[in-house]
């Protein structure tokens, strides 16, 4: 009975607008009730056990560091540097948006933080410069998924923690895919620039202007370099590096730039608590649902169903990607990752995939879901901060979505590309 009731309850709750964390938790508890009364006494322990992982502490620290950097205006230096580097081209502000997303990604590891920050700053500036508002939002959404791909990625922390995969290895493996997303999106902008009549920049900047922009953005650029260097060099764990990132952001934003007040600190702490609380609620609830799925051997059934279609690795990978992209259309990516990773990761091992390569493939597929309707989080963030309709943004987004799905296929079927940097660093 529970096999049918749990999914019906979950999707029913979502259809009525219940927050995904509560929908997962209640559906999971319905499943536990079906398992028997004695399992109910074990449920609270399982709930907290899902959060009892030391690497999870890195998430609130990275989120807090990004919020401090954004609130103190440090990210404006990144935008100016990006404009100096690529703003002179046709569609220059769109190109700058992508480059700035790469730089900002190295600070927060969050797509929604990127979308909110640039939706409030770059999107209105692009509109003022002659870009349509839906296109400006689409460019921002397309670039925002670089955040959870390039380290420090919150999804990489979650995946590495629950699957026992090296987080440092996942961080290193995410660098090239993130840069490829930036490159392919800039290619889309360049190919459509004349047809859309995108404004052209004022010409190549002088060497002096570039140096000045680099000086203004240097402290912001230094943070992701320091974070990555300390983790990949074995100096600090991701959790330690995240704590150091908060201290660095406080020093730069509060003491060097003098742009942080006590009220600002209070507000960024409240915002960080809300974001972290929502993510941790999903993780804890998904642990209960995952426990029920394991008890009913649903992961094994899914794996057997996929293997019954074909035993060819190429086909299995295609089925995994299709499943992730489809479920990502209607479900929060954190919940999807926590529920499906234990199902799909063993399947990738059976077909001979490297665990780090499989992790990046799964993460990137879910990241694309952040900008696909009907529940793409970045779409709704941009709609709320700019006032644009979700449908209008989605219409402009399709070329970028198709291009990023193409990158996903390259990453999935070319493991050496993903594993080049981890192998180079011996991870």
Domain that holds residue 242: 54-424
Phi-psi region of 131 (alpha: psi -120 to 50; beta: other; left: phi over 0): beta
Q: For residue 300, which of 351, 347, 358 has the smallest C-alpha distance?
A: 347
State the Cα–Cα distance between residues 118 and 98, nearest whole angstrom.
Answer: 10
Residue 382, domain member (yes or no)? yes
Q: What is the pLDDT along the chain (427 residues), one digit of tens a residue?
A: 557 787 788 778 877 777 777 887 888 888 888 777 777 777 777 777 767 777 777 778 887 887 787 777 666 777 777 777 776 777 788 888 888 888 777 676 677 777 777 777 778 888 887 888 888 888 888 888 887 888 878 888 889 888 889 888 998 899 999 999 999 999 999 888 888 778 776 667 666 777 777 776 677 777 777 777 787 777 888 788 888 888 888 888 777 777 778 888 888 888 888 878 877 877 787 777 777 777 777 777 777 777 787 778 899 999 999 888 888 776 777 778 888 888 888 888 888 899 999 999 999 998 888 888 766 777 777 887 787 887 888 888 889 999 999 999 999 999 999 999 998 887 7
Residues 26 and 158 in one domain: no
Residues 272 and 157 in one domain: yes
Q: Which two tokens stand for residue 368?
A: 């694309």
Model confidence pLDDT, tens digit, residues 188-241: 998 888 887 787 766 676 667 777 777 766 777 777 777 777 877 778 887 888
State the Cα–Cα distance between residues 353 and 159, nearest whole angstrom.
Answer: 16
Contact 360, 173 (CB under 8 A): yes
Residues 147 and 25 in one domain: no
In 329-386, where does DSSP find H-type helix?
A: 333-350, 355-368, 377-386
Which residue carries 């499989």 as its tokens?
358
State the Cα–Cα distance between residues 412 and 361, nearest whole angstrom.
Answer: 6
Q: How many domains does the chain have?
A: 2
CA 393 → CA 114, 133, 147, 221, 264, distances in Å? 16, 8, 19, 30, 31
- The beta-strand segments (E) located in 95-177 are none
Residue 345, domain member (yes or no)? yes
Residues 13 and 129 in one domain: no
Residues 286 and 402 in one domain: yes
Residues 187 and 137 in one domain: yes
Residues 133 and 27 in one domain: no
Which residue carries 């398992």 as its tokens?
35
Q: Which two tokens stand for residue 398?
A: 């399709």
Predicted TM-score (pTM) of the model is 0.81
Residues 111 and 247 in one domain: yes
Model confidence pLDDT, tens digit, residues 133-165: 888 888 888 888 887 888 878 888 889 888 889
**Residues sharing a CB contact under 8 Å with residue 385, sequence separation 6 or more, in sequence order:** 115, 116, 119, 120, 123
Q: What DSSP designation does 150 have?
A: S
Model confidence pLDDT, tens digit, residues 108-120: 667 777 777 777 7
């Amino acid at each position: 009975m529970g096999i049918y009731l749990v999914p019906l309850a979950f999707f029913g709750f979502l259809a009525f607008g219940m927050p995904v964390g509560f929908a997962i938790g209640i559906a999971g508890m319905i499943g536990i009730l079906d398992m028997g009364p004695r399992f109910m006494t074990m449920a609270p322990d399982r709930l907290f056990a899902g959060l009892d992982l030391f690497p999870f502490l890195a998430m609130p620290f990275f989120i807090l560091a990004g919020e401090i950097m954004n609130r103190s205006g440090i990210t404006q230096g990144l935008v100016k540097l990006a404009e100096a580097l690529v703003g002179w081209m046709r569609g220059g502000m769109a190109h700058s948006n992508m480059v700035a997303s790469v730089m900002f990604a190295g600070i927060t590891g969050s797509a929604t933080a990127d979308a909110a920050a640039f939706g409030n700053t770059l999107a209105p500036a692009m509109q003022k410069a002659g870009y349509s508002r839906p296109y400006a939002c689409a460019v921002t959404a397309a670039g925002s998924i670089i955040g959870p791909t390039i380290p420090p990625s919150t999804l990489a922390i979650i995946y590495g923690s629950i699957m026992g995969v090296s987080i440092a290895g996942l961080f290193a493996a995410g660098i090239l895919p993130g840069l490829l997303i930036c490159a392919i999106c800039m290619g889309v902008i360049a190919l459509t620039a004349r047809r859309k009549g995108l404004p052209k920049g004022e010409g190549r900047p002088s060497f002096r202007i570039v140096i000045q922009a680099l000086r203004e953005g240097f402290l912001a650029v230094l943070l992701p370099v320091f974070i990555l260097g300390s983790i990949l060099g074995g100096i600090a764990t991701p959790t330690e590096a995240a704590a150091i990132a908060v201290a660095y952001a406080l020093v730069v934003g509060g003491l060097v730039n003098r742009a942080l007040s006590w009220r600002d600190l209070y507000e960024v702490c409240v915002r960080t608590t809300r974001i972290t609380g929502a993510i941790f609620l999903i993780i804890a609830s998904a642990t209960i649902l995952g426990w029920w799925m394991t008890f009913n051997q649903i992961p094994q059934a899914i794996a057997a169903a996929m293997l019954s279609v074909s035993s060819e690795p190429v086909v299995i990978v295609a089925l995994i990607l299709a499943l992730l992209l489809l479920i990502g259309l209607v479900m929060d990516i954190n919940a999807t990752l926590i529920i499906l990773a234990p199902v799909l990761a063993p399947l990738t091992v059976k077909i001979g995939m490297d665990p780090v390569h499989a992790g990046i493939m799964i993460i990137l597929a879910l990241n694309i879901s952040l900008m696909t309707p009907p529940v793409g989080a970045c779409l709704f963030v941009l709609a709320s901060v700019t006032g644009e309709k979700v449908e209008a943004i989605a219409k402009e987004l399709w070329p970028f979505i198709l291009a990023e799905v193409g990158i996903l296929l390259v990453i999935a079927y070319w493991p050496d590309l993903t594993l080049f940097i981890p192998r180079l660093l011996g991870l």
